């Protein structure tokens, strides 16, 4: 009995000790004053690429976002010999979308509009300030954040600091855990180019359909009429029931990937999108692309998304009020996904880039064409016979005009 009492005493003592002093890593905000932060965008000489948050393709040019810094411009007229031609310096840049001669860039709390009618002499023409009030810079780890004081300026980066706290085993945090800069999306390659918009990968938080811009802001869908780029008109705000991650437009519909499943919204009334249908899955990250009557969804566990499933889902969306799962492919660590015709590209993290024939939607997993195991792939744009793939240390381009014999054309090293 005395032994039991002693053990209980030790356990209580240890728990009390944990509660007394709690040590952990924490993100400490770094502030920039509003005037400096809103220095107009400027076009500069080419820089080396050190990180990628988004890639976007339009008019034979590749736009590569350097998170928090700006956008690299690459002449991709010859995919076997891409040329880095300049850098658009925009503090806080996280992603982009293009329609016609106008480039829309999210810069943390702001939305910036840039006239690119003269591509190598772009000019910032408008800035909507503080329309994303909860936006924060990239966080690479699941650390809590120290309290943010907006009177000190705009949070533009973080310092990781050691923190001690008494009497609280589980620290409180403000802001968002493991925020990510996820790419902007346009319509798929064929319809996108026709409407004057470009093509991006499957990670997306902004989409353009005709004269309307749709932006994800946590679990809020915001709509803007961009008919006059210098005078954006705000539409209705739609509060989503699930935490949104990505958005993919197709025709008059928005396909929204969330941590709980895929949601479908129609844009018949462009300034007031309406929910039509959903399909749920266990908690996980969820990028989406759509072609024809099928959506291709990669579901990834870990990180901020949680969960324990890693797979590709093929979903029949012919009835948008009731989308149905038709096939699942087990994967290891899936990220971005792209489709062109019967060729599907899946970025499976450490397991590389996987290419499938999807002519038989019920047996995609049995029709693996090729696996490139030497690239840690995270996102892909397949367009007009060339697949542009983001890897851990570069952007790879493959000729897939013959899917059975994919050929590496070039690599842009980070």
pLDDT in tens, 79-129: 999 999 999 999 999 888 999 999 999 999 999 999 999 999 999 999 999
Torsion of CA 201, 202, 208, 210, to 10 degrees: 90
Does pLDDT of 180 surpass 50? no
Q: Identify the pLDDT of residue 376.
A: 86
**Cβ atoms within 10 A of the Cβ of 397, count?**
20
Does pLDDT of 277 surpass 50? yes
Does pLDDT of 18 surpass 70? no
Q: Identify the pLDDT of residue 52.
A: 79
- Predicted confidence band at 354 (pLDDT cuts at 50, 70, 90)? very high
Does pLDDT of 200 surpass 70? no
pLDDT in tens, 38-89: 999 999 999 998 877 778 899 999 999 898 999 999 999 999 999 999 999 9
Q: Identify the pLDDT of residue 193.
A: 37
- For tokens 């038709």, the residue is 326
Q: Which residue has the higher pLDDT, 413 or 88?
A: 88
Does pLDDT of 3 surpass 70? no
Does pLDDT of 337 surpass 70? yes
CA 97 vs. chain centroid, Å, equals 12
Q: How many distinct helices (H) and strands (E) make up the chain? A: 3, 33
| Least confident span in 113-117, 203-207, 226-230, 331-335 | 203-207
Average pLDDT value over all residues in the chain = 83
Read off the pLDDT of each residue in 230-239 and give the average, rounded to a whole number: 92
- Predicted confidence band at 204 (pLDDT cuts at 50, 70, 90)? low
Percentage of residues in the chain with pLDDT exceeding 90? 54
Does pLDDT of 404 surpass 90? no
Question: What is the per-residue DSSP string for 56-86?
Answer: EEETTEEEEEETTTEEEEEE-SSTTS-EEEE
CA–CA separation, 67 vs 91, rounded Å?
9
Predicted TM-score (pTM) of this structure? 0.83
Does pLDDT of 168 surpass 90? no
- Predicted confidence band at 202 (pLDDT cuts at 50, 70, 90)? low
Does pLDDT of 1 surpass 90? no
- Predicted confidence band at 158 (pLDDT cuts at 50, 70, 90)? very high
CA–CA separation, 163 vs 81, rounded Å?
49
């Amino acid at each position: 009995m005395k032994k039991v009492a002693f053990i209980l005493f030790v356990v209580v003592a240890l728990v009390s000790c944990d509660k007394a002093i709690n040590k952990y890593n924490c993100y400490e905000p770094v502030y920039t004053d509003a005037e400096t932060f809103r220095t107009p965008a400027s076009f500069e000489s080419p820089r080396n690429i050190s990180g990628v948050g988004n890639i976007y393709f339009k008019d034979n040019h590749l736009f590569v976002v350097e998170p928090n810094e700006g956008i690299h411009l690459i002449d991709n007229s010859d995919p076997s010999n891409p040329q880095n031609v300049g850098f658009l310096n925009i503090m806080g840049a996280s992603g982009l979308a293009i329609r016609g001669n106008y480039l829309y860039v999210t810069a943390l709390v702001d939305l910036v509009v840039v006239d690119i009618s003269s591509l190598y002499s772009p000019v910032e023409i408008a800035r909507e300030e503080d329309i994303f009030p909860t936006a924060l810079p990239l966080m690479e780890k699941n650390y809590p954040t120290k309290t943010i004081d907006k009177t000190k300026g705009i949070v533009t980066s973080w310092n990781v600091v050691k923190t001690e706290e008494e009497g609280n085993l589980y620290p409180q945090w403000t802001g968002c855990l493991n925020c990510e800069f996820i790419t902007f999306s346009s319509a798929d390659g064929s319809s996108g180019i026709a409407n004057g918009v470009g093509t991006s990968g499957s990670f997306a938080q902004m989409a353009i359909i005709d004269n309307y811009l749709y932006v994800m802001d946590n679990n809020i869908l915001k709509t803007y009429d961009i008919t006059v780029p210098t005078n954006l008109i705000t539409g209705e705000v739609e509060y989503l029931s699930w935490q949104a991650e990505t958005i993919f437009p197709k025709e008059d519909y928005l396909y929204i990937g969330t941590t709980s499943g895929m949601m479908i919204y129609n844009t018949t009334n462009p300034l007031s999108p309406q929910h039509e249908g959903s399909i749920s899955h266990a908690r996980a990250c969820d990028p989406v692309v759509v072609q024809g009557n099928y959506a291709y969804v990669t579901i990834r566990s870990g990180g901020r998304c949680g969960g324990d499933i890693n797979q590709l889902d093929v979903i029949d969306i012919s009835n948008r009020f009731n989308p149905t799962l038709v096939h699942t492919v087990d994967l290891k660590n899936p990220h971005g996904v792209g489709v062109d015709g019967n060729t599907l590209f899946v970025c499976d993290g450490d397991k590389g880039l996987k290419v499938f024939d999807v002519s038989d939607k019920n047996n995609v997993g049995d029709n693996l064409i090729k696996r490139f195991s030497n690239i840690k792939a995270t996102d892909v744009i397949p367009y007009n016979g060339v697949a542009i793939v983001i890897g851990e240390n570069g952007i790879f381009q493959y000729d897939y005009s013959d899917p059975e014999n994919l050929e590496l054309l070039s690599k842009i090293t980070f």
